[in-house]
Chains A and B, each alone.
Chain A
Amino acid sequence: MISTALTDLWYGFGVALEPHNLMYCFLGVLVGNLVGVLPGMGPVATISILLPLTFGMHPVPAILMLSGVYYGAQYGGAICSILLNLPCHPPHAVTCLDGFPLTKQGKGGTALGITVIAAFIGASFGITEMIFLAPFLVKVALEFGPAEVCSLMLVGLLAGSTLAKGSPLKGIAMTVLGLLVGIVGSDIETGQPRFTFGITELFDGVEIIALALGMFGIAEFMNSINNTETVDMKYAKVGISDMFPSKADLKLAFWPMIRGTFIGSLCALIPGTGPTIASFVSYATEKKISRTPERFGHGAIEGVACPEASTHSSVQGDFIPTMSLGIPGDTVMALLLGALIIHGIVPGPQLISQHADIFWGLIASFWIGNILLVILNVPMIGLWVKLLSIPYRYLYPSAMFFVCIGVYAASNDMFQVGETLVIGIVGYILLRLDFHPAPILLGFVLGPRFEENFRRSLLISRGDLMTFIERPISAFFLLICVVLIAAQIYVWLRKPKILQEEKAIEAQVPSTTYSELAG
């Protein structure tokens, strides 16, 4: 098993190192790093804008580039948190707590250096996890019939909506809303147009790019216009020479990095708990087991190393359920799944065998991309720091242009721009009512496949709903759903102590208006 994985990986490097693919991988991580640094732009919006531009490309470089944006943005996001105390990307919000005090003490460079090392270790472990776990998951998943797929999707949807931030009830409501938006268009079996209100352009369904850019682009800009804090560049002066941590710092940060990596890789495996939760959990754990917990919050290097390692390990691990089962764990993964579908690739357990070039090429490109990112971030740190000072008033109008032209390019149709506008207004109203838009995209992407499998499984069982319970694997997934709901009710009634601690940490993180962007 190990030897086949290594042969496949070798093949993957062959794919990823083709000059064309390598170029797009580099482009992806470069753009990702850039939007990661810029406050107010997130990977969701960026991937949506880039997606239509990949329509004419071969799927391999397209997926390599779009994925590169996601993990590239994680490298950039840490810079923003550590130097400016701006948690523009939720997974890095917790890094502010110790990163910024370190910057004030003049050790910002060291913190960034440790971050890069932690990121690389975390990512490497996440990738290794994917190499060995994904083929195993596929072996299990190939046994799935429509009933199992249905129950598994239910787990994914429920976990995605209840484990994310905010009220779980509202999360589930958003998922159902997403499923309803996914229904818009012609019915797959009968061709009957549903929820189209006679608009011909809607017969093909709502455009995923319009939905993503409306919710995470226009709605977000409306939320943050004239509402952003002025950026304080007082401490943000870092050169390459500051970035090499001393031996003592490395020694202090080593075990936290390993622990963070471990927590992150575990969180990646639980659907719905992405990098943000991983970083909070690992920070809380590190603070608890530390012999000197009072140093946390005043510039403890462990407080930077641990959450960063866990974020990156979780980001890479996030790809596992998406690529092996076709069940995305968060918004970015939902979007990537949408990208695969647009490129004519059916996501699911057959992906690895049918599109080995994409799967193994992607894994190999993770290694290459992470190495590229380390190279990008160490010598070019000065440039990224300069980018931090670009004010928001220049950013959002330019971003609006990219939103408009990106949606237009998806189908060369002005109707889609209008559709995005409407979704943006609705998205802002939902934001004001404390709904988090992330589960909508999840429901939207999974909706059509959920309906198809639900119909098929009941067709096979001749309308007997018991089929979901009688089949053992399906029953197991449904049991997980019940546990998830029961856990939410327990939390709501009892409010356990560990959650209060997490809330306390959350409360310390500086508030920001760029809340939703990284999903």
Chain B
Amino acid sequence: MLEKFKLKRDYYAGGLMLLLGVGAAVTGSGYKFGSLARMGPGFMPVMLGIVLAFLGLLIAGTALGSSEPDDKKFLPSNPQWFGWFCILAGPVLFIILGHYGGMIPAVFACVFVCALGDKTATYKSSFVLASGVTVFGVLLFHYLLNIPFPVLRGVNL
């Protein structure tokens, strides 16, 4: 019996949905529920949460019954920790530098860091790409489309 409880990806999937559903239903029960004729703001969240939790159980349940080969790998066969880090660091830098520095540093840093995530990338190739995109981006979004985003904070360009 225990053999059957090997970790399959679908258990995680079902578990996640169960968690989200229960979470939504519990949070939703804090709002006024109302009646069928006069639904309060809490009605839909609770109902949808229960449905989602139920679907989560079904997903995990069908995985239990299926005879397909065990697939316990959540991570891909070659996890790209550095690549993922770079992709996620890009927008973070965009937010911080955009807030304090302006469009030029934000765009440059975002593209430069994202580009470093590729395993064939070098500092030089990333620098060239980031510079190109920055020039193009500033011309397009600042001068042509007039997005309200200062090019460099404190400097009037």
Interface string of A387-428 (1 = CB under 8 A from B): 000001110111011011100110010100110110011001
Q: Which residue of B lies closest to A197 (CB)?
A: B27
| A7 interface hit (Cβ, 8 Å) | no
- Do the beta carbons of A401 and B98 come within 8 Å of each other? no
Tell me the smallest distance from the CB of B133 to a CB of chain A, in Å. Answer: 5
- In the bound complex, residues from chain A placing their C-beta under 8 Å from that of B119 are 226
The stretch that binds B, out of A258-266, A302-310, A455-463, is A455-463
- In the bound complex, residues from chain B placing their C-beta under 8 Å from that of A53 are 145
Q: Which residue of A lies closest to B107 (CB)?
A: A401
| A8 interface hit (Cβ, 8 Å) | no
- Do the beta carbons of B45 and A194 come within 8 Å of each other? yes
- In the bound complex, residues from chain B placing their C-beta under 8 Å from that of A403 are 91
Q: What's the tally of chain B residues with a CB closer than 8 Å to chain A?
A: 71
- Do the beta carbons of A169 and B111 come within 8 Å of each other? no
| B120 interface hit (Cβ, 8 Å) | yes
The stretch that binds B, out of A78-86, A144-152, A172-180, A359-367, is A172-180
Interface size bracket, A side = 35 or more
- Do the beta carbons of B118 and A393 come within 8 Å of each other? yes
- Do the beta carbons of A169 and B149 come within 8 Å of each other? no
Complex-state Cα separation, A435 to B15, whole angstroms: 13
- In the bound complex, residues from chain B placing their C-beta under 8 Å from that of A396 are 87, 114, 118
- In the bound complex, residues from chain A placing their C-beta under 8 Å from that of B152 are none
- Do the beta carbons of B36 and A465 come within 8 Å of each other? yes
Partner of A397, one of B10, B17, B130, B141: B130
- Do the beta carbons of A433 and B137 come within 8 Å of each other? no
Interface string of B1-30 (1 = CB under 8 A from A): 000000001101100110011001001100
Complex-state Cα separation, A194 to B40, whole angstroms: 12
Complex-state Cα separation, A192 to B44, whole angstroms: 13
- Do the beta carbons of B110 and A169 come within 8 Å of each other? no
Interface string of B100-135 (1 = CB under 8 A from A): 000000110011101101111100011001100100
- In the bound complex, residues from chain A placing their C-beta under 8 Å from that of B40 are 190
- In the bound complex, residues from chain A placing their C-beta under 8 Å from that of B76 are 227, 432
Q: Known: A393-B120, A417-B95. Is A398-B20 also a contact (CB below 8 A)?
A: no
Tell me the smallest distance from the CB of A101 to a CB of chain B, in Å. Answer: 29
Q: Which residue of B lies closest to A184 (CB)?
A: B45
Q: Which residue of B lies closest to A459 (CB)?
A: B37
| A225 interface hit (Cβ, 8 Å) | yes
- Do the beta carbons of A398 and B36 come within 8 Å of each other? no
Give B42-76 interface residues, CB cut-off 8 Å to A.
43-45, 48-49, 51-52, 55-56, 58-59, 62, 74-76
| B155 interface hit (Cβ, 8 Å) | no
Complex-state Cα separation, A164 to B84, whole angstroms: 28
| A506 interface hit (Cβ, 8 Å) | no
- Do the beta carbons of B48 and A420 come within 8 Å of each other? no
Complex-state Cα separation, A458 to B39, whole angstroms: 8
Partner of B129, one of A187, A397, A408, A462: A397
Complex-state Cα separation, A177 to B20, whole angstroms: 8
Q: Known: A180-B24, A195-B27, A417-B95. Is A401-B36 also a contact (CB below 8 A)?
A: no
- In the bound complex, residues from chain B placing their C-beta under 8 Å from that of A463 are 35-38
- In the bound complex, residues from chain A placing their C-beta under 8 Å from that of B87 are 218, 221-222, 225, 396, 400
Complex-state Cα separation, A419 to B107, whole angstroms: 18
Q: Known: A195-B27, A404-B90, A455-B39. Is A433-B48 also a contact (CB below 8 A)?
A: no
| B99 interface hit (Cβ, 8 Å) | yes
Complex-state Cα separation, A179 to B44, whole angstroms: 9
Partner of A421, one of B13, B21, B39, B91: B91
Q: Which residue of A lies closest to B77 (CB)?
A: A227
| A111 interface hit (Cβ, 8 Å) | no
Partner of A194, one of B9, B28, B74, B129: B28
Tell me the smallest distance from the CB of A440 to a CB of chain B, in Å. Answer: 12
Complex-state Cα separation, A119 to B114, whole angstroms: 37
- Do the beta carbons of A401 and B111 come within 8 Å of each other? yes
Q: Which residue of A lies closest to B130 (CB)?
A: A397
Tell me the smallest distance from the CB of A460 to a CB of chain B, in Å. Answer: 9
- Do the beta carbons of A420 and B13 come within 8 Å of each other? no
- Do the beta carbons of A393 and B115 come within 8 Å of each other? yes
Q: Which residue of B lies closest to A435 (CB)?
A: B13
- In the bound complex, residues from chain A placing their C-beta under 8 Å from that of B55 are 169, 172-173, 176
Tell me the smallest distance from the CB of B135 to a CB of chain A, in Å. Answer: 12
| A449 interface hit (Cβ, 8 Å) | no
Given contacts A187-B41, A194-B31, A412-B148, 8 further A-B contacts (CB under 8 A): A183-B45, A195-B24, A393-B125, A397-B112, A397-B130, A404-B107, A417-B98, A459-B38
12 contacts between A and B (CB under 8 A): A53-B145, A170-B59, A179-B44, A187-B41, A192-B31, A392-B118, A393-B115, A397-B133, A400-B87, A405-B147, A417-B98, A455-B39
List of 7 A-B pairs having minimum Cβ-Cβ separation, nearest first: A463-B37, A463-B36, A187-B41, A393-B118, A397-B114, A397-B115, A225-B83
